Amino acid sequence: MTFTAQQIADFLQGEVVGNKDIVVSELSKIEEGRPGTLTFLSNPKYTHFIYTTQADIVLVDRTFVPEQPISATLIKVESAYQSLAKLLTLVDSMKPKKTGVHATAVVSESATVGENVYIGAYAFVGNNVKIGNNVKIYPHVFLDDSVVVGDDSVVYAHVSVYENCEIGKRCVIHAGAVLGADGFGFAPDEQGHYHKIPQIGNVKLEDDVEVGANTTIDCATMGSTLIHRGVKIDNLIQIAHNVEIGEDTALAAQTGVAGSTKIGKRCVLAGQVGVAGHLNIADGSIFGAQTGVSSHIKEAGQIWQGYPAMPVATFHRLSVIQKQLPDLQRKIYDLERQIEAMKTK
């Protein structure tokens, strides 16, 4: 399907600078742009590509002012990145929709299945499962007894959802994720032998949650491990039992959150952040990559870095000092030798 620059601008409420009748049919990266495609510029690091790209249309922020002539037609919008997301959503909505239950899928007679549902090959749907309208269940998915999957959600291949877990509306669960596995609960006896503590809770995902590939979210010991509306969870993340994550919080790859910790709203945890158990994290907290959080974060909206987590300004000062430590060590050794020489005299 093809679109003119003016049609795209109308859809995005943008302004065309250049040939409003130029036609594109595909998307491309700005550094690999080719004729007949649309690309975008949002990161200043890629600005130099806009002067050489072969793409016919480039989405740019309204504030963009070119420093050289540009052959491409520009569409100026409030946010090029957000506008690209709208276009990608439009393109995705035009793909053929999968529907129907594959002959090899196992669906319990007591399960409730909504309208326009797709259930792929070798998927398993247990007793009393409730699947909403327009849900897609891809091949080899395992939905244990009494699982709930809300309207318009997508569960990709090889996902396992344990008994009684709940997935809200418009959620996306990527391949290999596990929801509801037992929390890591063991009680040692006098001899140091560990005895398993039964985990009888579940996992609840509210609406518009996305869970990345091979991520695990453990069930609660009692009650629910709770992921609130709009949370975005990357690949390869571990969320332990009884954790609660607030609305619109984002967690990047390889982050780990220990049991019973409560993370506030609109927080950001970058890659490989580790959060200890039984902590409270204030709303709007931001943690840089590989930060180790070992105590409560009480002040909202602050940026933290390092281990143990410290204010980012302190971390930067410490980083400068650490680089100077070898020179400081040599100076100390020199001073010690001078002092010893003075003592000898």
* Cα gap 87→7, rounded to integer Å: 12
179 near 173, Cβ under 8 Å? yes
**241 among known catalytic residues:** yes
169 near 187, Cβ under 8 Å? no
Distance of CA 200 to the CA centre of its chain: 27
Secondary structure (3-state) at 82: helix
Whether residue 308 is preceded by a cis peptide bond, meaning omega within 30 degrees of 0, is yes
User: Which member of 102, 174, 193, 241 is catalytic?
Assistant: 241
Enter the tokens of residue 6.
């003016």
Q: What are phi and psi of 166, to 5 degrees?
A: -125, 130
- Rg of the chain taking only CA atoms, in angstroms: 27
Distance spanning both ends of the chain, measured CA to CA? 91
CA distances from 210 to 70, 230, 263, 280, 293 (A): 38, 8, 17, 23, 24
Strands (E), 130-207: 130-131, 136-137, 142-143, 148-149, 154-155, 160-161, 166-167, 172-173, 178-181, 186-188, 194-196, 202-205
* Cα gap 214→201, rounded to integer Å: 21
Enter the tokens of residue 319.
């980083």
Q: Please, which residues have CB within 8 angstroms of residue 35's CB and are 6 or more apart in sequence?
A: 54, 55, 56
Enter the tokens of residue 241.
């039992």
* Cα gap 57→79, rounded to integer Å: 15
328 bridge partner residues: none
Residues belonging to the active site = 241
